[in-house]
Structure 1
Amino acid sequence: MTTTGEDHRAALTGPWWWPRRRSAVLDVTLAALSSIECASQGADFAGGVGLPSGAGLVFGMLVGAVLLVRRRWPVAVVLVAIAVTPAEMGFLLGVVGLYSLAASEAPRRIIAGLAGMSLLGALIVFYVRTEQEAAAGALPAEGWFVLFIALTMSLGLTAPPVLLGLYVGARRRLMESLRERADSLERELQLLAERAEERAEWARSEERTRIAREMHDVVAHRVSLMVVHAAALQAVARKDPEKAVRNAALVGDMGRQALSELREMLGVLRTGEGSVSTAQGAGSVPLAAVGAAAAAAASRAAGDGGVPVGDGPCLADLDELVGQSRVAGMAVVLSVEGELRAYAAAVEQTAFRVVQEALTNVHKHAAGARTHVRLAHRTSEIAMQVENEAPPVDGEGAAARLPSGGNGLVGMRERVSALGGVFVSGPTDSGGFRVSAVIPRGV
């Protein structure tokens, strides 16, 4: 199991400059061994040159204790080891110092320079000692043999610690780089997870908005016609019983269709809630299913008998849509310009929805007003306009007005803008209201 850089830094609990307590224990142990070695060699050197052995002993202990700062100041340790080389003391100090220097972050030229000085000092010392032993008869007196022994001993004391230190330093830097990379990747993964959650939340919000828009389009138009027929039924109930019966039958049919569509949508919602635990992305799967159900119900809203029309409403259903409004008592004039062309399904559905919602708004806010529906087929786009005149001021028109949630125009604008079209709405100079939209062909 690997640790990240933050975990590694959190584990650095050693005293002073030591990263860990065990590192401090190791350096204290090495310093103690080096002090013992240097004290023994210092006492021998002091006796050989006529100095008190105690002075050499104390000096050797102080020199060996320099290993305590090998992690903090490795250059100083190597310089001290080079300085005491002529006294033939501090071999452990030199070996550990060279290793610490090579493993540190010191520049390569400093490591090479100090290693060369240490090699040269050890070569001279070993050459002199080997030649003295050869002169005393302990070793062969040939010059090449003396040089070979001195060179081998000096390389043995300098090359291995330097090479090992370089390897350990490179490995340490690699591990630190890997820890930093792991930290960076962890941060990136965290950011990606946060962005993915934001995108999922945005997708869920968009899907909920789309479902609300579909339900509004499916139900609002039919319920609006029901209210209009109910108002007409109330007005003619005593004057024309036969017409009242027909209006009552229409209201009943539309009510049953609206209930059927709502029941299907709510059924899909309940089914989606039951499948949340088994589907990944539980927030988006049920919503998509509801959106599909809403689109299917919307296709049935275009027909009078509740029969699905393809995968959704299309421009061919405009005549039937206008006919429903005429039956409800609205004076609607439909005019079509240009030749019928093939459009993308989304374009036809959006065009139908714009006209449907505009007619619904006329039923709500201008009951009884004369309305003009214009559709223009152009080369690369389709244009539609629904314009009503000023509503009548008689009591019947006022009674037919319906409450509004204020979302119809917003939904139309969102639909048209999603397809790259242009939507404009506003009152006319004559007191009416106009809704216009232009949608690219999309095929």
Structure 2
Amino acid sequence: MTPTAAEPAPSRAQRVWTHTWRLLVAVGAGGSSGLLVYGLGLQATPEAVIRPTAATWFFVDLLCLLVCAPLYVVRRRAPLVITGVIVVLGSFSLFSQGLVVVAVVSLATRRRWPEIGAVCVLWCGATLVSERAFAQWVLPSEAIPPRSGWTVAAQLVFSALVVVTGMFIGGRRALVASLREQAAIARREADARDDGARAAERNRIAREMHDVLAHRLSLVALHSGALEYRAGLDPEQVRETAAVVRENAHEALGELREVLGLLRDTTATDEQSRPQPTFAQVDELLDGTRAAGSPVTFVLDRVGEDDLARLPASTSRHLYRVVQETLTNARKHAPGAPVHVRLHGAPGERIALEVTNPVPTTAPTTALPTSGWGLTGLAERLRLTGGELDTARRADGTFIVQAWLPWAAATTEGQA
């Protein structure tokens, strides 16, 4: 497993200390056991019967220790080969027994049965051979103990205990690594969810701000533009236009205050948390557009006022937003051009809205700022509620926006 944020890579000093303390423990344990065995052997055996080659064996024992110690440090470069060399050399060295045990435990942590089996067979064979060599080089012939099955059994049991210990350590390491990886994955998933939530909240804020302010500010811009460019207005017209500017500016400020209050409220999680306009307020939109100088016709086709009053609140709200956005776009891109709004449908089926306006051949003198994402946001809203929104430019030079929404049968939901 590669180091992650949940598992920082150890420093060089930590790696050196990890090798050092294990090496010191292994050498200390092996050296203590070797001195103990040699000391007890000298006390139990008269000096006259000890073989002359015993001193040579003792120095070979120390030499094997000096070879096995650096091999243990670099064992990770070739674990199977180096561990096999340590096992063979260490079997002929009492001082190296600690290094042999630790090396086999380290290999067993890899939990690869072919490697473990090969090293155990080599260890048992080398141990049996080293026992006979030790007896022939150090002990007198009459002191050589007879070979029995218990010796082989004891070696096998000891080897099994060493292997089980190594596999337990390896399993624990794998478990810790797995838990760390799961924690890292959970952290990344939580971060991704947080990022998604933040992106969704930013989109909601942008959509809400657009819906609330675009319509009002476009009216303010148009009327203030009239005050700037129409020099022939009489005082009464100037007062009326200024009153419209003031009224829409106050309305925009109040609605902005509501949106900001919603964003500061941590308990408000969706746009239903504030009072939303419905299709019952569409006349105010139409009157505002007419006051801005754009003729608007509104036609109900096979839809009665009573049917509109029974529209579900969510459908009524979405229809209002569609009319609001299309009228705002018409004022931006075709100021003064007539706009035709047609609503038709039937309860239990769907309700459709068509808004058309001619596309001017020349761009407006003072183009209003636009985000370019108003209709895209509306289309996303309608798709999420099972509806659809299409826009197109006809061959006759008119721009049409067609939107439809499912119209559930009459329910007890509050009137629009």
Fold shared per TM-score above 0.5:
yes
Which residue of 1 is the match for residue 323 of structure 2?
355
Matching residue's letter, 2:393: P
Deviates more, 1:28-37 or 1:351-360: 28-37
Question: Corresponding residue for 2:30?
Answer: 27
Q: Is the 8 A contact 1:38 1:60 kept in 2?
A: no
Q: 2:161 — aligned with what?
A: 167
Higher relative contact order structure (alpha carbons within 8 Å, sequence separation ≥ 6): 2
Which secondary structure state, in structure 2, belongs to the residue aligned with residue 436 of structure 1?
Answer: strand
Q: What TM-score does the superposition give when structure 1 sets the normalisation length?
A: 0.62
SS in 1 for 2:400: strand
Q: Per-residue deviation at 1:355?
A: 1.6
Do the aligned partners of residues 23 and 220 (structure 1) sit closer, same or farther apart at CA in structure 2, a change above 3 Å counting? same
Query: Equivalent of 1:387, from 356, 380, 385?
Result: 356
Equivalent residue for 1:187, pick from 181, 199, 203: 181
- Do residues 422 (structure 1) and 388 (structure 2) align? yes
Name the residue aligned to 1:368.
Answer: 336
| CA offsets 1:53-78 (integer angstroms, 9 cap, x no match) | 32344346646876775984575369
* Identity in percent: 28
Aligned position for 1:86: none
Compute the RMSD of aligned alpha carbons.
5.0
Map 1:308-387 onto structure 2 (within 5 A). Answer: 311-338=275-302, 340=307, 345-377=313-345, 379-387=348-356
Matches within 5 A, 1:102-113: 105=108, 107=116, 111=120
**3-state SS of paired residue (2:382):** helix
| Cα pair 1:42 1:56 within 8 Å, conserved | no
Give CA-to-partner distance per residue, 1:297-325, whole Å, 9 cap, x none.
xxxxxxxxxxxxxx312233333322332
- Give the equivalent residue in structure 1 for 2:56: 58
Deviations 1:314-357 (A, max 9, x none): 23333332233233332212223455486664443333212211
Alignment equivalent of 2:249, drawn from 247, 251, 255: 255
The equivalences for 1:270-285 within 5 A come to 271=264, 285=266
Q: CA deviation at 1:177?
A: 1.8
Gap runs ≥5 in structure 2 = 1-5, 73-82, 109-114, 136-141, 410-416
What is the SS of the residue equivalent to 1:353?
Answer: helix
- The AA in structure 1 aligned to 2:255 is E
CA distance in 2, matches of 1:360, 1:241: 28
Is residue 218 of structure 1 aligned with residue 218 of structure 2? no
Matched-pair contact (CA < 8 Å) for 1:39–1:59: no
Deviation at 1:381, TM superposition (A): 4.0
**In the superposition, relative to structure 1, how do residues 33 and 8 fare at CA in structure 2: closer, same or farther (>3 Å)?**
farther
Larger radius of gyration: 1
Counterpart contact for 1:326–1:332, Cα < 8 Å: yes
Determine if contact 2:382/2:388 at 8 Å carries over to the other structure.
yes
Q: CA deviation at 1:163?
A: 3.9
Change (3 A) 1:102 1:211: closer
The amino acid of 1:363's aligned partner reads R
Letter in 2 for 1:192: A
1:20 is paired with a residue of what secondary structure?
Answer: helix
List per-residue Cα deviations over 1:351-381 (Å, max 9, x = no partner).
Answer: 3212211101111221221111122335554
Quote the offset at 1:440 in angstroms: 4.7
Q: 1:38 to 1:66 in 2, by over 3 A?
A: farther
